[in-house]
Structure 1
Amino acid sequence: MTQTNYSGKVQRVAIIANGKYQSKRVVSKLFAALRDDKDFYLSKHNPDIVISIGGDGMLLSAFHMYEKDLDRVRFVGIHTGHLGFYTDYRDFEVDKLLEDLRKDKGEKISYPVLHVKLTLQDGRIIESRALNEATIKRIEKTMVADVLINGVKFERFRGDGISVSTPTGSTAYNKSLGGAILHPTIEALQLTEISSLNNRVYRTLGSSVIIPKHEHIEIVPKRLGTYTLSVDNKTFSHKNVAKVEYSLDSKKISFVATPFHTSFWERVKDAFIGEFDS
């Protein structure tokens, strides 16, 4: 946990919410409480704090709205549905959030973000950031691609596709693919195959691989065609992809370090295991 150069200034707060009825009720309550509070200024332009209301998908959207401001903005989430990994407060805990924000001294908890660099055959470069993961798949047929780790040709992959996730994203799509769960403070990437072909002719490692923070991953398709590149909850299609490079971004996402910032392992237990007899 770190602390910013907090000087008691008025905090600019942006409120981002989905269209659900319960989320709208929370928004109304927050607006009513913060609108006339001299310590806060409600604005979606250059905020210091972004309050996301909904679930993890809504926080992903908020992250992408302000990904260019990660060195300055902090996030906090209120979930109005199922338990989320990025949301610290429930919809009935708005008063507690307001109390914690008024006591806030600028402390934050930061987690790694994925940097994705897509190079097309014509030389064009498209760069983006992912909070959870980025995947590449071939639309028409089996994807065949060379996998390079820190410049070393690691394997020739054949299958549906490849996912590269952040530690925070390890509990999302990566987990459903059989990948490992990483604590979000671990600065690493995780490469996980999607339905790889493994037989006596074609062979891949077949398990997820953890890549340290100073190394990078390259995926080089060996066949022309149309590929889909998914970055968190956004999907794009590109023809004639030359390569995709993955590394940890120079910026991190920061959350408001409130007393409600639940233990990661507590979240994992609640989401996947639940209560059990001691």
Structure 2
Amino acid sequence: MKYSLLDRGDRLSRDLAEQFHQMAQEKELTRDDESPDIVLSIGGDGTLLQAFHRFRDRVGTVAFVGVHTGHLGFYADWKKDELPELLERMATLKPTTVSYPLLKVEIVTDAGRTVYLALNEFTLKSVDGTLVAQLNINDEPFEMFRGDGIVVSTPTGSTGYNKSVNGAIIHPHLEALQIAEIASINNRVYRTLGSSIILPKHHHCDIVTDPDEPLAVGIDHLVFQFQEVRSIICSVAPEKVHFARYRPFPFWNRVREAFIGWDENQGFTKKWPR
């Protein structure tokens, strides 16, 4: 098996990465940063996002594994003290591969067309202040938005920025995208639905803005500025991201542990008195 590893860059993550490389050599695993089978990230969900974008052109052929060094992450199955167990399973077991939807974002400007893939979300804001944009669904006008911005998320990304603006959490086996508003302003001129919208795989959303308005575009942790934007087309990507599972960790268990609180031995961290 060939692997590549990306760490967060702090001392703990670097030390864990060095330990992993040493143990992997003993297990006769091959480090290959060009064409790996498995890509490990050590740090947090942000580190895995970096790993995803580093191998974006090979997303169909690699599988990701996350090791978290702090709080439990949605993309990290393993804790920092479980490296020996993870390595043993990598050396002896064939993992179960789970595949999750990605977001395709096409930005059309006077200079041409740029295409991105997002693992978590795409965000759109105005550089100068309030964002004004027309939203079309399947080439039909739907609403005229005015407010702080728009976030379009994948199902796995629905637990992030999308949740903070009251979007729904979607199981990642559903091939869909979600459009959520960031502080919309509603009046007689600008009127929006006021809730998040979930579109299936065969639908798409076009966002049309004033081409004279400079825009701030976020693709996961990456931020860009665009000028002369004619339209932005969001759809479920034909590609998927793959994760190597060496043990089960259901999605709703991740949600419960992250937002509600759960102790394996005692149940919920807060209980009703008996």
How big is each residue's C-alpha offset from its partner over 1:239-261, in whole Å with a ceiling of 9 and x where there is no partner?
Answer: 121111111111111011211x4
Higher deviation after alignment, 44-53 or 192-201: 192-201
Select which of 229, 249, 253 maps to 1:266. Answer: 253
Task: Give 1:6's aligned residue.
Answer: none
The Cα shift of 1:107 comes to 2.9
User: Is the Cα contact below 8 Å between 1:51 and 1:78 reproduced in 2?
Assistant: yes
Task: Give 1:202's aligned residue.
Answer: 190
User: Is the Cα contact below 8 Å between 1:147 and 1:156 reproduced in 2?
Assistant: yes
Select which of 158, 167, 180 maps to 2:146. Answer: 158
Aligned residues: CA RMSD: 1.3
Amino-acid identity (%): 44
Which amino acid in structure 1 is aligned with residue 76 of structure 2? T
Equivalent residue runs for 1:111-260 within 5 Å: 111-120=100-109, 122-222=110-210, 224-259=212-247
Higher deviation after alignment, 11-20 or 137-146: 137-146
Distance 1:218 1:201, change over 3 A: closer
Select which of 32, 38, 58 maps to 2:47. Answer: 58
The Cα shift of 1:83 comes to 1.3
User: Is the Cα contact below 8 Å between 2:211 and 2:230 reproduced in 1?
Assistant: no
Which amino acid in structure 2 is aligned with residue 57 of structure 1? G
The alignment partner of 1:35 has SS state of helix
User: Is the Cα contact below 8 Å between 1:144 and 1:223 reproduced in 2?
Assistant: no
The alignment partner of 1:135 has SS state of strand
How big is each residue's C-alpha offset from its partner over 1:129-180, in whole Å with a ceiling of 9 and x where there is no partner?
Answer: 1000001111113211110111121001111111100000000000001100
Task: Give 1:3's aligned residue.
Answer: none
Structure 2 gaps of 5+ residues are 262-268
Question: Which consecutive segments of 4 or more residues in structure 1 shift more than 6 A?
Answer: none
The Cα shift of 1:184 comes to 1.0
How big is each residue's C-alpha offset from its partner over 1:34-61, in whole Å with a ceiling of 9 and x where there is no partner?
Answer: 12333x2112110000010000000000
Length-normalised TM-score, structure 2: 0.93
The Cα shift of 1:77 comes to 0.5
The Cα shift of 1:106 comes to 4.8
The alignment partner of 1:175 has SS state of helix
Higher deviation after alignment, 58-67 or 20-29: 20-29
Select which of 55, 60, 79 maps to 2:68. Answer: 79
Distance 1:71 1:145, change over 3 A: same
User: Is the Cα contact below 8 Å between 2:27 and 2:91 reproduced in 1?
Assistant: no
Asked if 1:276 is matched to 2:270, the reply is yes
**Matched residue pairs, number?**
265
Length-normalised TM-score, structure 1: 0.92
- Give the whole-Å Cα distance in 2 for the aligned partners of 1:193 and 1:263: 29
- Give the whole-Å Cα distance in 1 for the aligned partners of 2:176 and 2:189: 32
Distance 1:111 1:166, change over 3 A: same
- Give the whole-Å Cα distance in 1 for the aligned partners of 2:8 and 2:211: 40
The Cα shift of 1:222 comes to 3.3
Structure 1 gaps of 5+ residues are 1-10
Equivalent residue runs for 1:34-53 within 5 Å: 34-38=24-28, 40-53=29-42
Select which of 71, 82, 99 maps to 1:110. Answer: 99
- Give the whole-Å Cα distance in 1 for the aligned partners of 2:96 and 2:249: 15
The Cα shift of 1:201 comes to 4.2
- Give the whole-Å Cα distance in 1 for the aligned partners of 2:130 and 2:23: 54
